[in-house]
Structure 1
Amino acid sequence: MTAKVTMAMFGSSLVSAYWNGAATYYRGMIRALNECGFDVTFYEPDAFERQQHRDMADPPWAKVVVYPATQQGLHAALEQAREADIIVKASGVGVFDEELEAEVPRLRRASNLTVFWDVDAPATLQRMRADSADPFHSQVRNYDLVLTYGGGPPVVQAYVNFGARRCVPIYNALDPTTHHPVPAESRFSGALGFLGNRLPDREARVHEFFLKPASLLPQQTFLMGGSGWESNVALTPNINYVGHVYTRDHNAFNCSTLAVLNINRDSMAQVGYSPPTRVFEAAGAGACLVCDAWEGLEQFLEPGKEVLRVANGEEVAAVLPQLTEQQARRIGERARRRLLNEHTYQHRAQQVSALLVEQLASRARPARYHEERHRAAL
């Protein structure tokens, strides 16, 4: 790529992981795309106290524009973004999502691309199935491309059925500059750690895969991080709840327990092929990962060798007493090597770069043809 490709991306937040599980994905993808020659401006609303809970300064590999969460602020940001080569609307911005879904395709020109980047495809598709009047039914076909951060063949087929021109999964991955092994810290010690915000379609699975084994193993210490679990949740005395864990502490959190538990949300577990950021954060730090079962897991980590797959809380409670520190270290190191070899954001960015550059070139050819015909007629 000889010249920088400009990208304007509307998402929840790049600089704050507060109530924002997509932050790791955004950061890894955009940093790697910058290294592939993309000049990215990330537009995020000043909402949900995210700016008050920043966990990083504006990075050198992207420009961050924080716009007021108002109609005026939104339209000023859209106007600023209109000249970009690629204009991206990510799902789950949290403010004016419906308007952004409609307005971004209207910025389409003969030589640019508009992209819907779905960081929660199962939820978006579930929303569309449940409401035939959802405006996105008519808007999805106006995007040049749909990218998803998971979902595999079922999500691709569903998007095609809803009229998407093209849908390509771009899975979560590891950014080894951010998530890597560090010394253990006593404040995060325990047999099993779980990190995740309290969300309606995750809560039942947290009760099954984390709270139940904690109750079955009262002599073991369980570590729980994430927002929203401080009220109206019956935590047993052996659960150490540490609240919101800033990204600067994620490596220590993942390296300080014997094992780390991943719990997918209901929709992602049902669809499969949707490894969340926590899988790559934990395994990238060399943690022994205990993962709830979902289709497609072996595409990323080999069960029994690189990850311990469990079907319910009883299996979690059965695994922990038999797991030695040596076994845990060996599983974690195998997983880390697998991700470094096959599943980093550099791997993903090369895929995205090739896809977007090819799409841009195919759009530019007819545009140049019409321009040349127009000049010849003068």
Structure 2
Amino acid sequence: MTKPLNIVFIGLTLSSSWGNGHATTFRSLLRGLNASHHSCLFLERDMPWYANARDMPHPDFCRLAYYDRPEQLAGEFAAEIRAADAVVIGSYVPDGVAVIDLVHALSPRCLCFYDIDTPVTLAKIERGDEEYIARRQFPLFDVYFSFSGGTVLTLLEERYGVRTARALYCSVDPDRYFPTGEAFEWDLGYLGTYSSDRQPVLERLLIEPARRLPHRRFVVAGPSYPDSIDWPANVVRIEHLPPEQHRSFYSRQRFTLNVTRADMVALGWSPSVRLFEAAACHAPIISDAWEGLDSLLPEGDALVIARRPEDVVTVLETLPEASRQSQAERAAKIVLASHTGEARGRELVQALSAARLPHAKRALSA
């Protein structure tokens, strides 16, 4: 049995799920680590956008502390960073390049990066955009945990100089995501913050089917959608849906739609947290297509892959109820076996233990 670890996370946000997928990803992972008796401190930049919309200001599965500027990490929190078994810095951390340099200068025992946005990160780097990590910083990390798997891991090591790249997909907490048994309210729904690169797919796979099926009911939940969007009359809009309402939302859909950002489709192997949450709630999934999806949730067995409005219309109008239920049950079985917070926590700890072994050997021989 692995001895309990002391891990410091520096991430975008844990306290607020407003307009981001990072909070729910970190919450599930840290709950899983807590269930295995690991101790975690999460350091979050105190930003007004999240401070005014916190739906988890006091988590019961880890310590949560806020800092106002990067320099505090090398001052107020320096001792805890140095003492930790591992420090994990996340993507999209404000002033991330400065944060990485400051933390690296403290010589933590094991320094890691958790990229919850890997395809977006690499696309930004190729454009010369170093918003939260610089190209020179990739080799600084003992382990680079990636939201994306597959060939992306080889790319990280061979092109960007990462020492060790490991897939660490998002995950779901089965104690919070499960079917509620509520009656269906919508035939097809979607949960996600507006993104300009996802919007054409949403238009193709939900809005256009809604126009063609005026007798069916649709719903889109998430913030930041522009007023210029022409929503059909049979599409309900929900501006923000806090995590505690997600399971009810999924349970009230005959089908739920999964839409993936363009950069993630391009690289593949990038399942979103919504994919796992919907499956855990036994909501049958209609998804856009990308490499690696079929290996996670087999097409026709655990979900439906749609490419055109006609594909969605056919599913909503003709798929037998037995097939709908069978796909939902199969997806739930796969996700609950391999994609929970506890499963992901074990993967993280195994990778950290392997990364720290060379350090331990050097210390013993010194």
TM-score of the pair, normalised by structure 1? 0.90
Equivalent positions of 1:1-378 (< 5 A) are 1=1, 3-68=3-68, 70-71=69-70, 73=72, 75-76=74-75, 78-79=77-78, 80-93=80-93, 95-109=94-108, 112-131=109-128, 136-184=134-182, 189-229=185-225, 231-370=227-366
SS in 2 for 1:287: coil
In the alignment, the residues of structure 2 paired with residue 66 and residue 200 of structure 1 have an alpha-carbon distance, to the nearest angstrom, of 31
Matched with 1:375 is: none
Point out where structure 1 has 5 or more consecutive residues left out of the alignment. Answer: 371-378
Identity of aligned residues (%): 27
1:276 deviates by: 0.2
In the alignment, the residues of structure 2 paired with residue 340 and residue 320 of structure 1 have an alpha-carbon distance, to the nearest angstrom, of 26
1:315 deviates by: 1.4
In the alignment, the residues of structure 1 paired with residue 231 and residue 73 of structure 2 have an alpha-carbon distance, to the nearest angstrom, of 41
How many residue pairs align between the two structures? 364
More displaced 10-residue stretch of structure 1: 208-217 or 114-123: 208-217
Closer, same or farther: CA 114–217 of 1 in aligned 2, 3 Å? same
Query: Post-superposition, which runs of at least 4 consecutive aligned residues in structure 1 deviate over 4 A?
Result: 71-78, 132-135
In the alignment, the residues of structure 2 paired with residue 231 and residue 124 of structure 1 have an alpha-carbon distance, to the nearest angstrom, of 29
Closer, same or farther: CA 348–228 of 1 in aligned 2, 3 Å? same
Measured against aligned partners, the alpha-carbon deviations of 1:47-102 in whole angstroms (never above 9, x if no partner) come to 2532332223522221001222x355555465353332211110012x21221232
Contact 2:74 2:106 in 1 (8 A): no
Contact 2:153 2:166 in 1 (8 A): no
More displaced 10-residue stretch of structure 1: 251-260 or 3-12: 3-12
Measured against aligned partners, the alpha-carbon deviations of 1:146-183 in whole angstroms (never above 9, x if no partner) come to 00122322343234311111101111233211211113
Contact 2:124 2:130 in 1 (8 A): no
Whichever residue aligns with residue 220 of structure 1, its letter is R
In the alignment, the residues of structure 2 paired with residue 20 and residue 249 of structure 1 have an alpha-carbon distance, to the nearest angstrom, of 16
Whichever residue aligns with residue 102 of structure 2, its letter is E
Whichever residue aligns with residue 170 of structure 1, its letter is L
Measured against aligned partners, the alpha-carbon deviations of 1:133-152 in whole angstroms (never above 9, x if no partner) come to 88712111111110012232
Point out where structure 2 has 5 or more consecutive residues left out of the alignment. Answer: none
In the alignment, the residues of structure 1 paired with residue 3 and residue 338 of structure 2 have an alpha-carbon distance, to the nearest angstrom, of 28
Whichever residue aligns with residue 20 of structure 1, its letter is N
RMSD: 2.1
In the alignment, the residues of structure 2 paired with residue 320 and residue 244 of structure 1 have an alpha-carbon distance, to the nearest angstrom, of 26
SS in 2 for 1:241: strand
Closer, same or farther: CA 368–170 of 1 in aligned 2, 3 Å? same
1:361 deviates by: 2.7
Contact 2:265 2:290 in 1 (8 A): yes
TM-score of the pair, normalised by structure 2? 0.92
